[in-house]
Amino acid sequence: MKIGVSRLMLVSLAGVVVCGAMQASQTYKGLEIEAVGVERATRVSLQDCPPGENIVRGVIRPSEDNEFATILLDVKVLPSFDGGEIAKPLLYDDAGNEYKTAQSFRDVSSQDAYTCSFSFRLPKGTKVARLAIDDVSFDISELEK
């Protein structure tokens, strides 16, 4: 019985470590950023981050074999943030292909914390793997449900 309990504890601990690693936030230029989700759609908002008055939308025509993968980010502005330009995110699929977004980080210190979405046009069914902002990288392969 003792061996079974030890194995169960080891498996549980491994699950906690894996879940913790997937949800880790990272700091970039005084911003604490965490990738929290991936959504697929054919119509998306293309607001900059943090969301503002921009009401531009992205639309995939029914005849296209594309879709949007929208990556959700939680952002906190830390006291160490001193302004400056924030690089646009890049999305990578599991084959290493790079996808760009039309959206940008703008006026990032206007709020202390917010959630942003960055949308990327890509072929339907493309498996997303990683989001990069300059030299910071997020493994998003397990965020899609």
Number of domains in the chain: 1
Tens-digit pLDDT profile for residues 44-79: 999 999 987 777 899 999 999 999 999 999 999 999
Whether residue 9 has pLDDT greater than 70: no
Where residue 134 sits, what CATH number does that domain have?
2.60.40
Q: Which of 126, 103, 131 is nearest to 37 (CA)?
A: 131
- Do the strands 26-28 and 31-41 form a parallel or antiparallel pair, or are they unpaired? antiparallel
**pTM, 2 dp:** 0.82
Whether 35 contacts 117, CB under 8 Å:
no
CA–CA distance, 28 with 123 (Å, rounded to integer): 29
Whether omega for the bond prior to residue 62 falls within 30 degrees of 0, making it cis, is no
Residue 14 within a domain = no
Whether 126 contacts 93, CB under 8 Å:
yes
At 22 the pLDDT is: 45
At 144 the pLDDT is: 83
Structural domain span for residue 120:
25-139
